[in-house]
Each structure stands twice: as C-alpha cells, then as structure tokens.
Amino acid sequence: MKKVLYLIALFISIGIFALAWNYSRNRLPTPETPFASIGPETKIVDASSDLGKSIIASARNQIGVVIKYDTAYFADALVPPDSGVCADVVWRALKDNGYDLRTEVDNDIKNNPNDYPNVDQPDNAIDFRRVKNLKVFFDKYAKSLTLDVISGSIENLSYWQAGDLVTFAPLPESGLTHIAIVSDKRRRDGVPLLIHNYGRGTVEDDYLTNWPSEITGHYRLDKLIKKD
C-alpha cells in the first residue's frame, strides 16, 4: 500500500512540474539565438566608458544573488536583496557606483510633478521602481541614443555600449513595461546581450532584439551621473 501511495505521489509531483515548466515556457519569451552564439565575428569597437563597464560589473554581481521576481510594495523601499523587479537591477547597479536613483527621481517628481503623468501621489518607496517614471527621468537627464538595432552593422551596433540602459513598450498580454542594462558581451552578429530581471531573477541573456515589445528608449548615463 505504501508503495502504491509513493508512486501516486511521484506521478502527481512529475505532473505538477511538467505543468509549471510548460507554463513558464509559454509565459516568458525565449531567445531566438542561443547564448552559445556569442563570438568575435563582428568586430565592434569597445567604446564603453569606465563608468559603463563598472555598471555592468555591478549588474553582473547580482546574478545568482537576485533569484526572485517580486512586484510587491516594500515600505521604505526595503526590497529583499534576493528579489525585485527589472528596475531594481538598475538602481542597485547605479547605487554601487555612487548614484542614488531613488533620491534623484523623488526630487525630480516633487519639483516637476507635471512631467510625471503616471504619478498621482508621490511615494519615494516605489516611484523609482516604476519603468514609466524612469523613462521620463532618463529622457530628461540622460543621453538618448538610437533605438535601431541592426544585426551585423558595425556602425549601428557601435552605439550600443556596455552600461547603456534600454526600455521597452508594454508587453502585449500583461501590459508590463521593461528596463534592462546593455551587456559588454555580444552575439556573433554584434548584437549585445542584456542584464535584467524579467521573472527569473537577474540574468544575462539575448533579448535586445528578441523581447516581445518594441524598444522605447536607449540611454547613456555618462552625463547623468556625477561621481565624486
């Protein structure tokens, strides 16, 4: 009898795992080009600044540490160190480099409330974690660059450098917007990878041209961040 119950429990567990795996595959976009396709074929000059490289290093340090995706509201912005959303990858990387994105966004919302149509009541515990607000902020203060990504084009892809930020339009089904950091690793055709959190914790993978909504912003922070 115990053996029968064990087998039933085993089959139920396998079934639940299969359903969860299938749901995950159907819910999240899958890269068309595998990670293994990274290579040196398209020679793109590394023109990223020291700051850009430092931002990437900080973002990459989150991989394996931030392992959850959590949209919950956290009082005083005390996001657990092992979780968060896409925007948390950004502010954590900037904080490591001496820039307090939370304070800067909060001050700008207070001083220029009409610039932020998505903010009804300012709340510095969450406003800097919302991509719509970050896009307004970066549109104002960061250097805006091309939105085009042309595979194999050295001229075009040279505009996409490590530490740049990229925002995406709302996803068709969920309506969620997205933000990511451009990696210093590239595919064979020169298109860079992204470091971001879209549901599986902070990861580095091939989504710049594979994300299922269009690019809405491409920013460089060299003139935004003033380090001491």
Instruction: Report the candidate in 66, 100, 59 with the shortest Cα–Cα distance to residue 82.
Output: 66
Within a domain: 226: no
The answer to the question of residue 130 being in a domain is yes
The number of folded domains in the chain is 2
Same domain, 7 and 52: no
Tell me, yes or no, whether 225 lies in a domain: no
Q: Contact 221/165 with Cβ under 8 angstroms?
A: yes
pLDDT value of residue 72: 95
180 with 39: CB under 8 angstroms? no
Predicted confidence (pLDDT) per residue in 118-167, tens digit = 898 999 999 999 999 999 999 999 999 999 999 999 999 999 999 999 99
Looking at the structure, do residues 53 and 139 belong to the same domain, yes or no? yes
39-53, 75-89, 156-170: which range is least confident on average? 39-53
Task: Tell me, yes or no, whether 15 and 120 share the same domain.
Answer: no
Beta strand 215-220 with 143-144 is antiparallel
Residues 8 and 64 in one domain: no
Does any domain span residue 227? Answer: no
* Alpha carbons 131 and 39: distance in angstroms, whole number: 31
60 and 92 fall within a common domain: yes
CA–CA separation, 83 and 59 (whole Å): 14
Share of the chain above pLDDT 70, in %: 79
Residues 50 and 141 in one domain: yes
Q: How far apart are the first and last CA of the chain?
A: 71
- Beta strand 178-186 with 165-168 is antiparallel
Residues 162 and 93 in one domain: yes
Domain that holds residue 16: 1-30
Task: Examine the domain organization and report whether 94 and 185 are in the same domain.
Answer: yes
- Answer whether residue 68 is part of any domain: yes
Structure tokens at 186: 């590239």
Residue 20 has pLDDT above 50, yes or no: no
Q: Is the pTM of this model over 0.85?
A: no
pLDDT band at 190 (very low <50, low <70, confident <90, very high): very high
The reply to whether 19 and 125 lie within a common domain is no
Same domain, yes or no: 63 and 113: yes
**Which DSSP state fits 115?**
G
Report how far residue 36's alpha carbon sits from residue 90's, in angstroms, rounded to the nearest whole number: 25
Residues 164 and 209 in one domain: yes
Give the mean pLDDT of the chain.
86
Residue 185 belongs to domain with CATH number: 3.90.1720.10
Residue 4 lies in a domain: yes
Q: Average pLDDT of 1-18?
A: 47
Q: Does residue 169 sit in the same domain as residue 194?
A: yes
